[in-house]
Amino acid sequence: MQKSSEILLASAVAQFHIESIRAIDFPPVYSDRQSDFPKKISDDSAFDTDTSYMVNSFDPSFKVYMACVWYKNDGSEAGSDEIDKVVLRKVKIEVKRSKDDYPLIKMPVFITRNGIY
């Protein structure tokens, strides 16, 4: 019962962060605002919960981690030197219980720019 309550609350926390990501107003394709996104990681890399990925949570009983994978218009992963070619971002969100770092929710959010992809 307690675990299901925690998962329900963690889902609400994750949804809050998803909505904040969706509220970002994208610039044109050839300009970029990378500071609006979490740290870039590779899609196949393990999701490291290093503090550089942690974002502020409005509920202290949860830790929220986010990272971002960038994709080019051909579907391949974009490197850090290909920022101008990024048309799709997959933002990975993970919500953990603060007291023991137990993962409660993991989910991706896909964001396109200007309807391209």
How many domains is the chain built from? 1
Q: Is residue 106 part of a domain?
A: yes
Give the range of the structural domain holding residue 94, as residue numbers without chain letter: 2-112
Of residues 16 and 46, more confidently modeled: 16
Q: Is residue 24 part of a domain?
A: yes
Nearest to 53 by CA among 39, 41, 63, 69: 39
Q: How much is the pLDDT for 2?
A: 84
Q: Is residue 22 part of a domain?
A: yes
Which whole number is the average pLDDT over 14-27? 74
Which whole number is the average pLDDT over 88-105? 88
- How many of the other CB atoms lie within 10 Å of CB of 31? 9
Q: Is residue 57 part of a domain?
A: yes
Q: Is residue 28 part of a domain?
A: yes
Dihedral angle sign, alpha carbons of residues 22, 24, 27, 29:
negative
Who's near 3: CB < 8 A, 6+ residues apart?
Answer: none
- Name the least confident of 9-13, 33-37, 96-100, 104-108: 33-37
Q: Is residue 85 part of a domain?
A: yes
Residue 29 has pLDDT above 80, yes or no: no
Q: pLDDT band for position 26 (50/70/90)? A: low
Q: Is residue 117 part of a domain?
A: no
Which whole number is the average pLDDT over 31-55? 63
